[in-house]
Structure 1
Amino acid sequence: MSYLKFLVKKKELIPLIAFVGFAGVGAAGMSIYSLFKTDVIVNRQKNPEPWENVNPYEPQKLFTINQKWEPVEELQTVKQLTK
C-alpha cells in the first residue's frame, strides 16, 4: 500500500502529519540558524576562547528590544591589565 493511498484511507492523519512536519522543519531551521550565531562554538580546537571575539555592540539574543550596551569600566581595565 503506497503512502498516498494510506492517507486517502485515513484522512484524520493528514493534520497530524502536517503539524509534525512543520515542527520538524522549524526545529531543523532553528538549529541551522543557531549554528551561524557568534556565541555558538562548532570547532573548539581552532578557537578555544570564543568569548574574546564576540562583538559587544551586536545583540546576541534571538529577539532584542531597545538593547543598549555600554562597557563596564572596571572590566575593561582588568582586561587591559591581564593582556
Structure 2
Amino acid sequence: MNLFQLLMKKKELIPLAVIMTAAACGALSFALYSLKKTDVIIDRKRNPEPWENVDPNVPRKLITINQQWKPIEELQKARRASR
C-alpha cells in the first residue's frame, strides 16, 4: 500500500513505474520462453547429450527468414561411424 500512496503523491513517477514493470515482465517472459527451448540445458544428468534429439527441420530462433537445412555429409558419416 505504501507504493501506491507514493505514486499518488508524486504522479511523475507513474510512467517510470509502468515502464519498469513492463521491462521486468518482458525479461521474465523471455527467460521462461528460453527455458522451453531444447538448446537450453537445465538437467545434464537425465539427458547428457540433448543436441542429439534436436530436430533440424524445426526452427530454433525467434525469427527465421528463408532458412533451409541441408545435412553435411561428412558429419553424417562420422555420426554413423560412431554409433
TM-score tier by shorter-chain length is over 0.9
* 2:47 aligned partner: 47
Q: Distance in 2 between matches of 1:13 and 1:71?
A: 55
TM-score where L is the length of structure 1: 0.93
Q: Distance in 2 between matches of 1:3 and 1:23?
A: 18
Instruction: Flag structure 2 segments of 5+ consecutive residues without an equivalent.
Output: none
* 2:65 aligned partner: 65
Q: Which has the higher helix share?
A: 2
Q: Distance in 2 between matches of 1:3 and 1:37?
A: 36
Q: Distance in 1 between matches of 2:40 and 2:2?
A: 42
Q: Are 1:33 and 2:48 an aligned pair?
A: no
For 1:2, give the aligned amino acid.
N
Q: CA deviation at 1:8?
A: 1.5
Q: CA deviation at 1:3?
A: 2.6
* 2:82 aligned partner: 82
Instruction: List, as ranges, runs of 4+ consecutive aligned residues in structure 1 with deviation greater than 6 Å.
Output: none
Q: CA deviation at 1:60?
A: 1.3
Instruction: Flag structure 1 segments of 5+ consecutive residues without an equivalent.
Output: none
Secondary structure in 2 aligned to 1:52?
helix
Q: Mean Cα displacement is larger for which, 22-31 or 35-44?
A: 35-44
Superposition map of 1:4-23 within 5 A: 4-23=4-23
Q: CA deviation at 1:59?
A: 1.0
Query: What percentage of residue pairs aligned between the two structures are identical?
Result: 53
